[in-house]
């Protein structure tokens, strides 16, 4: 007998099925809408990153002795400075608040509450004074010795001290922003002779956001090739989100690219100071790369230093013509892949003002300087001496600088200047060219602090080695301006002094600024919280590492 099912029962049954599937769907839509609208992603504790350091193996991770890029890179992770540079490029308190006396010669420091070393010991005024005294000890031969000549310290109590300068010096705040503190208790019995060899140079204890957990050494030579850092539970400021930071050292980029670590995509890795021509090895613009490029503004300026000892370069008009010939935009675009700022100013914070000059203007300058192009040789020749306009260009033997020098040479040759390029190793360039001022023209640069001190670079008293007025600038207006800038003066007055330096440097053209290179930092996209835009030294990329994170949580936000 055939079973009859009423239409009513079919509808009721289908309604139940529809409800079974529809209700969860509605709930899912509501939750998704709520999540998208009210849930906010926030940093979450945990995780680790690996920092690839290209350079020498660490030797002196010690604020009194550190000179290598590797040693200095590690300092801000392990130690804390007295003052610090914030993201607005202002110098502000770090482990200590400070007051400056009316005569601007005495800094009174007050250490903040609960500033401790990673072993739990309180950081006191004794530690700060001890660190300064070690820098000042001539037997230790600290590279920072000159910054502390005739500076005195006076302990008030365990939290308060005075630092007394021999004379007013506004840039001293830079010095305090670079003063990392040693624990006196652990170092006080170490003699100057033992100082460079003490075990805490390689296994330091400081008051920074991280502490050393373990090290890995090279099997062949016993050099440290890896540090594992853990979060410092005693850190006085905001604790780091990251549990762990691994620092792995490679002598060069090729060695890293041949390593297993290079191809291991599970490891969250960053790498600093990658040459522009190597960026494509890490960041592929066409595909979804796991890396991003953080190009950080720097306080470095590179350009041409000209020596008037070469008779061709003794003419103001000729030097002005050379400055106008240089195609700064082309150099930055084609030779630096855009990872630099074009500049015609000696001031790192200045804005580039393009000066359009046509060929006739440049030829007129050479003519006024007494030069005519020889139709047979196509070289400029001095009308009086009949000597050709030939110069030697000294440059560092690296792909980047060789390419820039080649571009400069092409531009100068077009106008009839004969250029011979000589390539040097870094040591040879410094010792045999820059220090003795033995060049016609040198492609070189300098770096300043956040509050720049141009006295060393351009004051006439700094012309001879070992001072660093490489351009041999001897200008009374500049002398006065750079001396005044060492004093504490109003902002408006300071800006006027900077303008004097800029105008006089551009007028004399003994130094021709060309570009300010960016620091190129390849950062894994899984790393969040990196917000620095400008740094005045490479290690300052870690200034806000306590804000970096790789784990993400959610909170309800209405």
Q: Is the Cα torsion angle 302, 435, 472, 406 positive or negative in sign?
A: negative
Report the pLDDT value the prediction gives residue 281, as an integer from 0 to 100: 85
First to last CA, the chain: 64
Report the pLDDT value the prediction gives residue 17, as an integer from 0 to 100: 60
What are residue 300's phi and psi, to 5 degrees?
-95, 145
CA dist 348 and 339 (Å) reads: 15
Report the pLDDT value the prediction gives residue 204, as an integer from 0 to 100: 97
Report the pLDDT value the prediction gives residue 288, as an integer from 0 to 100: 62
CB-CB contact of 124 with 158 (8 Å): yes
Name 368's Cβ contacts closer than 8 Å, sequence gap at least 6.
Answer: 317
Question: What's the DSSP call for residue 374?
Answer: -
CA dist 10 and 3 (Å) reads: 13
418, with CB counted inside 10 A (0-12, 13-18, 19+), is: middle
Residue for token pair 């613009």: 285
CA dist 3 and 524 (Å) reads: 68
CATH topology for 298-517 is: Dipeptide-binding Protein; domain 3 (3.10.105)
Where do the H-state alpha helices sit in 147-252?
Answer: 172-177, 184-187
Q: Would you tell me the crossing angle of helices 491-508 and 316-325 to the nearest 10 degrees? A: 100
Two tokens, residue 200: 């805490």
- Annotated domain spans of the chain: 48-258+526-553, 298-517
CB atoms within 10 A of CB 374: 14
CB-CB contact of 61 with 73 (8 Å): no
- The tens digit of pLDDT for each residue in 6-54 reads 555 555 555 556 556 666 666 656 655 555 566 678 999 999 999 999 9
Angle, CA of 57, 336 and 299, to the nearest 5°: 65
Q: Would you tell me the crossing angle of helices 316-325 and 359-368 to the nearest 10 degrees? A: 160
Two tokens, residue 397: 């033997």
Question: What's the DSSP call for residue 86?
Answer: -
Report the pLDDT value the prediction gives residue 22, as an integer from 0 to 100: 65
Report the pLDDT value the prediction gives residue 31, as an integer from 0 to 100: 56
pTM assigned to the model: 0.88
- The tens digit of pLDDT for each residue in 136-180 reads 999 999 999 999 999 999 999 999 999 999 999 999 999 999 999
Mean pLDDT, 10 residues at a time, the chain of 558 residues? 52 57 63 60 94 95 96 97 93 97 96 97 98 98 96 98 97 97 98 96 97 91 94 96 97 94 93 89 72 93 96 96 96 94 95 80 96 92 94 96 97 97 97 96 96 96 94 97 96 96 97 96 95 92 96 76
401, with CB counted inside 10 A (0-12, 13-18, 19+), is: buried
CA atoms within 13 A of residue 154's CA, in its CB half-sphere: 8
Domain 48-258+526-553, CATH? 3.40.190.10
Q: Which residues pair with 231 in a beta bridge?
A: 210
């Amino acid at each position: 007998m055939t079973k009859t099912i009423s239409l009513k029962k079919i509808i009721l049954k289908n309604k139940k099925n529809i409800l079974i599937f529809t209700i969860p769907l509605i709930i899912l839509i509501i939750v998704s809408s709520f999540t998208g609208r009210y849930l906010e992603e926030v940093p979450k504790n945990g995780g680790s990153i690996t920092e690839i350091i290209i350079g020498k193996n660490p030797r002196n991770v010690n604020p009194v002795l550190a000179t290598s890029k590797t040693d200095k890179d590690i300092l801000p992770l392990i130690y804390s400075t007295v003052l610090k540079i914030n993201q607005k490029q202002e110098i502000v308190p770090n482990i200590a608040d400070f007051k400056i006396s009316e005569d601007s010669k005495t800094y009174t420091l007050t250490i903040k509450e609960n500033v401790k070393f990673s072993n739990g010991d309180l950081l006191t005024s004794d530690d700060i004074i001890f660190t300064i005294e070690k820098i000042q000890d001539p037997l230790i031969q600290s590279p920072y010795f000159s910054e502390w000549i005739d500076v005195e310290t006076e302990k008030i109590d365990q939290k308060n001290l005075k630092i007394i300068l021999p004379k007013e010096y506004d840039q001293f705040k830079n010095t305090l922003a670079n003063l990392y503190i040693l624990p006196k208790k652990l170092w006080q019995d170490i003699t100057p002779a033992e100082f460079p060899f003490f075990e805490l140079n390689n296994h330091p204890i400081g008051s920074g956001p991280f502490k050393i957990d373990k090290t890995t050494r090279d099997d062949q030579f016993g050099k440290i090739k890896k540090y594992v850092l853990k979060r410092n539970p005693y850190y006085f400021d905001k604790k780091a989100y990251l549990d762990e930071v691994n620092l792995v050292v490679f002598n060069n980029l090729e060695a890293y690219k041949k390593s297993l670590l290079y191809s291991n995509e599970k490891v969250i890795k960053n790498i600093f100071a990658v040459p522009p021509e190597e960026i494509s090895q890490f960041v592929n613009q066409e595909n979804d790369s796991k890396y991003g490029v953080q190009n950080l503004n720097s306080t470095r300026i590179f350009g041409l230093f000209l020596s008037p000892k070469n008779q061709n370069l003794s003419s103001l008009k000729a030097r002005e013509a050379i400055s106008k010939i240089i195609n700064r935009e082309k150099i930055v675009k084609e030779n630096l892949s855009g990872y630099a700022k074009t500049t015609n100013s000696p001031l790192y914070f200045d804005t580039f003002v393009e000066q359009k000059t046509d060929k006739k203007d440049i030829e007129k300058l050479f003519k006024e300087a007494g030069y005519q192009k020889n139709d047979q040789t196509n070289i400029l020749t001095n009308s009086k001496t009949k000597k050709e306009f030939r110069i030697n260009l000294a440059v560092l033997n690296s792909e980047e600088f060789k390419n820039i020098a080649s571009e400069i040479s092409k531009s100068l040759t077009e106008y009839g200047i004969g250029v011979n390029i000589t390539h040097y190793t870094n040591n040879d360039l410094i010792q045999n060219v820059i220090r003795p001022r033995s060049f016609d023209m040198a492609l070189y640069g300098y770096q300043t602090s956040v509050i720049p001190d141009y006295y060393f670079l351009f004051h006439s008293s700094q012309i001879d080695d070992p001072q660093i007025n490489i351009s041999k600038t001897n200008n009374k207006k500049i002398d006065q301006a750079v001396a005044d800038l060492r004093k504490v003066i109003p902002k408006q007055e300071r800006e006027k002094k900077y303008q004097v330096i800029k105008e006089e440097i551009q007028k004399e053209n003994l130094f021709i600024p060309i570009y300010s290179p960016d620091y190129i930092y390849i950062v894994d996209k899984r790393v969040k919280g990196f917000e620095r835009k400008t740094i005045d030294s490479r290690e300052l990329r870690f200034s806000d590492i306590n804000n970096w994170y790789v784990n993400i949580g959610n909170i309800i936000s209405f």
